[in-house]
Copies of this chain bind each other. A is one copy, B any other.
Amino acid sequence: MNDNFDLAKIAAALEGLEETIIFKLIDRAQFRHNPTVYEKGRSGFTGTHNQSLFSLRIRFQEKMDAQFGRFCLPEERPFCTRLPASRRDLAIAPTGLALDNPDVVNLGPKILAAYLDLVPLICRHGEDGHYGSSVEHDVYAVQAIARRIHYGSLYVAESKYRSDRKKYEDMMRAHDAAGVLSLLTRREIEERIIARIREKVTMTQARVNRTTRHVVDPDVILTFYRDTIIPLTKEGEVLYLLNRRASEKAVL
């Protein structure tokens, strides 16, 4: 039996990604904001036109990742387009997701915009010149966030759909996005996640030596979860359901 859609298992996987996201954000915050790395035309990179060091780094990273087959997984949606094909011979088991094109659920542009707003809130302001390290950790962080959002979007949505087919199908047929959003929202689960994030960020940094490490305010990461990660995951769930194949035959 395919247990990809056991909601308890999906929730556990999502919960396990929380530490990964927190670790990557805290590591990024060890460097200053370094706004230069986000400015177009200031990458100092030869042979490029009017790009930022950050956008160059993402493109290089995703070109590498694409060759390693990362985007063959439906929950790994790239930020860039026109990426090379996978060079790996991957044996990916059918997921059971019923979507013709996984890029229908790609929240990359919104994730990037929200992340760039987050950086000055977790980092000390100004410049320390560690541009290479900053964008390297930006990419780690933003990829971990995107994986959480897209994994949740796809698997939570399909799981909820399977547990209540009739109700969802009526709304999906009517293209009732607001109705779907309301049906899949579980306020008490969201509150539990948010409380857990505060606790995890606090505990992770509880005994940090503040002369050697910059400490990130738990409220900032909590707010990012509440106002970005959770809403974008739900937006992805709605996108998935409104684009779900009517056929029972899973295509991914």
Contact = CB atoms under 8 A, between A and B. Distances in A.
Interface of A: 12-13, 15-16, 19-20, 23-24, 26-27, 30, 43-47, 53, 57, 60-61, 64-65, 67-70, 87-90, 132, 135-136, 140, 199-200, 203-204, 206-209, 211-213
Nearest to A203: B207
A152 to B, nearest CB: 14
B13 A212 contact: yes
Contacts of A203: 203-204, 206-207
B20 A209 contact: no
A19 B215 CA distance: 12
A46 B88 CA distance: 6
Contacts of A213: 16, 19
A212 B16 contact: yes
A23 B27 contact: yes
B207 A199 contact: yes
Number of copies: 2
Contacts of A44: 88-90
A246 to B, nearest CB: 31
Nearest to A67: B60
Contacts of A212: 12-13, 15-16
A16 B128 CA distance: 16
Nearest to A70: B132
Given A16-B213, A88-B132, A200-B207, 6 more contacts: A19-B213, A53-B68, A57-B68, A68-B135, A140-B140, A206-B206
Contact of A20 (B27, B53, B206): B27
Query: Which 9 interchain pairs have the tightest Cβ spacing?
Result: A23-B23, A44-B89, A16-B212, A15-B212, A12-B212, A60-B64, A46-B87, A44-B88, A203-B207
Contacts of A19: 26-27, 208, 213
A102 to B, nearest CB: 16
A177 to B, nearest CB: 31
Given A57-B68, A64-B61, A207-B200, A45 B13 contact: no
A2 to B, nearest CB: 15
Choose among A19, A27, A67, A140 the residue with the greatest number of B CB atoms under 10 Å from its CB: A19
A86 B65 CA distance: 21
23 contacts: A12-B211, A15-B209, A16-B209, A16-B212, A16-B213, A19-B27, A19-B213, A23-B24, A44-B88, A45-B68, A45-B89, A46-B88, A46-B89, A53-B68, A60-B67, A64-B64, A68-B132, A68-B135, A70-B132, A88-B132, A200-B207, A203-B203, A204-B204
